[in-house]
Amino acid sequence: MPGTPSGSEDILSLVRVDRFPHLWCAGCGHGIVLGALVRAIVDRRLDPASLVVVAGIGCAARAAGYLKLDGVHATHGRAIAFATGIKLARPELKVIVITGDGDLAAIGGNHFIHAARRNIGLTVVCFNNSIYGMTSGQYSPMTPRAARATTAPYGHIEKPFDLCELAAACGATYVARGGAYNPARLTGYIASGLDHRGFAFIEAVSQCPTYFGRRNRLARGIDLLKWQKEAALPLERAASLSPEEREGRFTVGVFRDVDEPEYTEAYDGVIALAGKKGAEAGP
C-alpha cells in the first residue's frame, strides 16, 4: 500500500549490489538521491516490469546502472530523446529519466524544454550538483554566480538557471525541488512524480565535495549537506522574502501540480483517427 514503510528486502531487490562498490566519491550526494528514487518505487509498489530507466552520461547518469530495471545508458544529453521514443512505442510503461545538471540543462537543454512543452509522460529526476562532476569540475548551467570551478578559477560570472521555474514555464505539469539533505521529503516528491501522468520534473539538489566543494571551501560531504539544509527555503516562506533575503538560497517544494493532456494519449487519438480515415478511404 502506498505510504507503508518498506522493508530493506524490497529496496535491495531493486539494486544491483553485485556492481558495488559504486563509482561515486566519498561524500557524494548521488547515492542519497538514488536511494530516494528506489524508496519512491518501493513505496508506490510499482511492478519493476512496468518501469524503464533511461540515463545520459555523467556521475549522476551512472545511477541507472545500479538499478535492477530495464534501462538504457544513452548518449550525453540525449536521455530525454531516448525516453521519448520508448514512451511513444510503449506508452503503458513508466519511463524514468536519470540525469545530471550538465546532461540535462547544457547539452540536453533543447530536449528538456520541448519534452516539458509536450507534457509527455516521463518522470525526470535531475541530480543537480552544480558542476560537471564526471569530467573533473567544469562549470555547468547550474553553477552559482561567483562560485569557483575548474573552468572558472576566479569565480563564475554567469547566472544559473532555476531549473524548476524553467520546467514549469515550458509546460511541465509536475515540478518539485528537494535535496539530498532531506531524503524523506525528496522521496515523497519523486513518488508524486511517478504517480503523475504528464511530464514530471524533480530537481534533487545533490553535492560534489570533490570538484565543487573543494574549490568552494566546502570540502566534505557533510559541509555541503549542512549548507543545503541552511540554504533551502520552502516556497511558502520564500514568497514573503525580498530578493536580497533570498540571495544565495534555493527554494524547495512543489512548484506545479496540474492535470493537462498527456502527449502519448493525444498521439493515440491521432493514430485512431488516421486509421479511421484510412479505412474510409478504402484500399
Ligand X SMILES: Cc1ncc(C[n+]2csc(CCOP(=O)(O)OP(=O)(O)O)c2C)c(N)n1
| Site size for ligand X (CB under 6 A) | 17
Q: Which of 103, 160, 251, 253 binds ligand X (CB under 6 A)?
A: 103
Q: Determine the distance from the C-alpha atom of residue 81 to the mean position of all C-alpha atoms in its chain, rounded to a whole number.
A: 15
Exposed, middle or buried: residue 183 (CB in 10 Å: 0-12, 13-18, 19+)? middle
Binding of residue 221 to ligand X (CB under 6 A): no
Binding of residue 203 to ligand X (CB under 6 A): no
Cβ–Cβ under 8 Å, residues 105 and 142 = yes
Q: Which stretch binds ligand X (CB under 6 A): 99-107, 149-157, 172-180, 216-224?
A: 99-107
The one-letter code for the residue type at 273 is L
Instruction: Give the nearer residue to ligand X in terms of CB position, either 59 or 97.
Output: 59
- Minimum CB separation from ligand X for residue 244, in Å? 29
Q: Which stretch binds ligand X (CB under 6 A): 97-105, 112-120, 152-160, 269-277?
A: 97-105
Instruction: Give the nearer residue to ligand X in terms of CB position, either 58 or 178.
Output: 58
Instruction: Give the nearer residue to ligand X in terms of CB position, either 130 or 173.
Output: 130
Cβ–Cβ under 8 Å, residues 166 and 245 = no
For residues 229 and 263, give the distance between their C-alpha atoms in angstroms, rounded to a whole number. 36
Indicate the pairing of strand 70-73 with strand 174-179. Answer: unpaired
Q: Determine the distance from the C-alpha atom of residue 97 to the mean position of all C-alpha atoms in its chain, rounded to a whole number.
A: 7
Residues 6+ apart with CB under 8 A from 279: none
Binding of residue 141 to ligand X (CB under 6 A): no
Which cell numbers in the block locate residue 255?
A: 512548484
- Minimum CB separation from ligand X for residue 11, in Å? 22
Binding of residue 133 to ligand X (CB under 6 A): yes
**Cβ-closest residue to ligand X?**
100
Cβ–Cβ under 8 Å, residues 152 and 166 = no
Q: Which of 115, 134, 194, 225 binds ligand X (CB under 6 A)?
A: 134
Indicate the pairing of strand 51-55 with strand 70-73. Answer: parallel
Q: Which of 22, 76, 87, 118 binds ligand X (CB under 6 A)?
A: 76
Q: Which of 33, 59, 74, 164 binds ligand X (CB under 6 A)?
A: 59
Handedness of CA 104, 110, 116, 120 (dihedral sign): negative
Instruction: Give the nearer residue to ligand X in terms of CB position, either 103 or 262.
Output: 103
Q: Which of 100, 141, 178, 188 binds ligand X (CB under 6 A)?
A: 100
- Minimum CB separation from ligand X for residue 197, in Å? 27
Task: Using alpha carbons, select from 82, 213, 98 the residue that is nearest to residue 144.
Answer: 213
Task: Using alpha carbons, select from 60, 55, 53, 54 the residue that is nearest to residue 24.
Answer: 60
Residue ranges binding ligand X (CB under 6 A): 57-60, 76, 100-103, 127, 129, 131-135, 140
